[in-house]
Amino acid sequence: MVENDVRHLINRKLEHVEVTVFGDVSRKTYTMLEDVTLVHQAFPGISLEEVNTKAKFLGFDVNAPIMVTGMTGGTPELGKFNGTIASVVEELGLVMGVGSERIVIENPSSEESFRIVRRNAPTSPLVANVGMPQISRGYGLRELEKIVSVIEANALAVHLNVAQEVFQPEGETDYQEEVLGKLKDLSSQMGIPIILKETGCGLSMETVRKFSSYGFHNFDVSGQGGTSWIAVEKIRGERRGNWKSKSASLFSSWGIPTAASVIETKWADPASFVVGSGGVRNGLDIAKAIALGADIGGFALPVLEASLEGRDAVKQFLSEVEFQVKVAMLMSGSRDVSSLKKAPIVILGSLKDWMESRGITFSTYDKVRKGGY
C-alpha cells in the first residue's frame, strides 16, 4: 500500500471519529428496545447487594455484561482514547474491542495505538477487529495472527459493513460466499474464537443461519437505532460533493432494529453467543437486550464521547451503566444474569408486529430466549 493510501486510511478514521461524535448520526431511527418492558417485581426476593451481575464473555469471567465494542486505533490521538477506555475497562472488569486493525498491516507504526489497550487492560478480555472485505481481498493467517497478537486478543471480531461501503466513494463491497469457507479454515488454525459483527444495520435470521451453517456461532448484532454509518457516509459524501450522498440519506433508516436483530439471531441459532449492541445507551437497554436473548450488551459511540472528556467521564459513565443494569435486575426479580435471561417481558408495538411478520410467535420465542430449545 503506497504511503498516500495509508494517510488516506488514517484520515478516514479520524474523520469517522469526528463525524460520529460531532455530527448527528444516531437516533434517526430506533432500536425497538423502546417496545420492550421488563416486568416490575415488587418483591424481588433479594436485596440490591445480592444481585450478581457477573457474566461470561466467551468463557471469560466479567464483572458485568457490558462490552465496549470496537471503534478506534491507528494514530497517536486515537490510541489515547483506546488507552483511556482500556484502563477503565480493566478497573471495572468489563470487555473491550478495538477498531479495525487493517491499518496495523498496512502501517506498522500504528501498532502502538492498539498495543496500549492490552497494556492498560492486562487481564481483560480483548477483541481484535478486521473487516470481512480484507479477508476477501487476501488477508491470511499471517495477517490475522498479527492483528490478534498486537493486543494479545482473546477473540477476533470480523466486521460486516456493506451498508457503509456501498456509499463510500472508496467502498469495498466484497461479500462473496467463498470467503466464509476461507474464514472458517483460518479460524480453525487460530487459537481464539471469531465473532461475526455488524456495524449498525443488524443481523437477520437468514444471515445468521448462513453463518451457523459454516460453524460460526458468536455474533455481535450491532443493530439499527444507534450510530448510523450510512448517515456518516452521507455527511462525508456531502463534504466531497459525492452524488451517492443523496442516496445515503434515503437509506439512513435501513437496517434491522437492535431488539429485532437479537431476536432474529437467537431464533436462527438458539445456542449462539450474542452481543446485543447498536443504539444501546444505558443499563436498562442492556438489561432489555439480555432479557431478549443477548449474553452481553455493547456500546460504541457513548463511550467514545465520554473518552473525549477523559478517564473520569468514562469511568462514571460505565459505573452508572453497571448500577443501572443492577437496578433493572433487582426490580425484574433477577438474582443473576442467567435469571435475567428468563425475566418476564412484555413486547408491544412494532416489535410485536415485526415478530409476527417473521413468523416468530411470542410463546415459542419465550422458550428459545430462556434456553429451552
Ligand X SMILES: Cc1cc2nc3c(=O)[nH]c(=O)nc-3n(C[C@H](O)[C@H](O)[C@H](O)COP(=O)(O)O)c2cc1C
Q: Which chain residues interact with ligand X by CB under 6 A?
A: 16-17, 20, 26, 69-72, 99-100, 129, 157, 159, 197, 199-200, 222, 226-227, 277-280, 299-301, 304
**At its nearest, how many Å lie between a second copy and the CB of residue 160?**
4
**At its nearest, how many Å lie between ligand X and the CB of residue 16?**
5
**At its nearest, how many Å lie between ligand X and the CB of residue 359?**
27
Which of residues 69 and 334 has its CB atom nearest to ligand X in the complex? 69
Which residue from 127, 137, 138 is spatially nearest to 101, judged by alpha carbons? 127
- The answer to whether the CB of 167 falls within 8 A of the CB of 234 is yes
**At its nearest, how many Å lie between ligand X and the CB of residue 344?**
22
Backbone φ and ψ of 217, nearest 5°: -135, 10
b/e code 214-241 from CB counts within 10 Å (16+ = b): eebbbbbbbbbbbbbbbbbbbbbbeeee
Which residue from 43, 36, 64 is spatially nearest to 333, judged by alpha carbons? 43
Q: Helix, strand or coil for residue 265?
A: helix
Q: Helix, strand or coil for residue 287?
A: helix
Which of residues 215 and 349 has its CB atom nearest to a second copy in the complex? 349
Binding residues: 12-13, 69-72, 100-102, 129, 164-165, 197, 222, 227, 279-281, 300-301
Residue nearest to ligand X (CB): 226
Which of residues 125 and 202 has its CB atom nearest to a second copy in the complex? 202
By CB under 8 A, is residue 47 in contact with a second copy? yes
- The answer to whether the CB of 128 falls within 8 A of the CB of 96 is no
The one-letter code for the residue type at 144 is L
By CB under 8 A, is residue 132 in contact with a second copy? yes
Q: Helix, strand or coil for residue 298?
A: strand
Exactly one of 333, 337, 340, 369 binds a second copy (CB under 8 A); that residue is 333
Which of residues 126 and 330 has its CB atom nearest to a second copy in the complex? 330
The one-letter code for the residue type at 117 is V
Kindly indicate which of the ranges 7-15, 73-81, 194-202, 305-313 contains the residues binding a second copy, using the contact rule CB under 8 A: 194-202
Binding at 16: pick from a second copy, ligand X, none (beta carbon under 5-8 Å per type): ligand X
Q: Which residues contact 334 (CB under 8 A, 6 or more apart)?
A: 51, 328, 340, 342, 343
By CB under 8 A, is residue 220 in contact with a second copy? no
Cross-strand partners of 38: 345
Place of cell 415459542: 364
Q: Helix, strand or coil for residue 279?
A: coil
Exactly one of 6, 10, 14, 166 binds a second copy (CB under 8 A); that residue is 166
Binding residues for substrate: 12-13, 100-102, 164
- In angstroms, the first-to-last Cα distance of the chain is 48
Binding at 3: pick from ligand X, a second copy, none (beta carbon under 5-8 Å per type): none
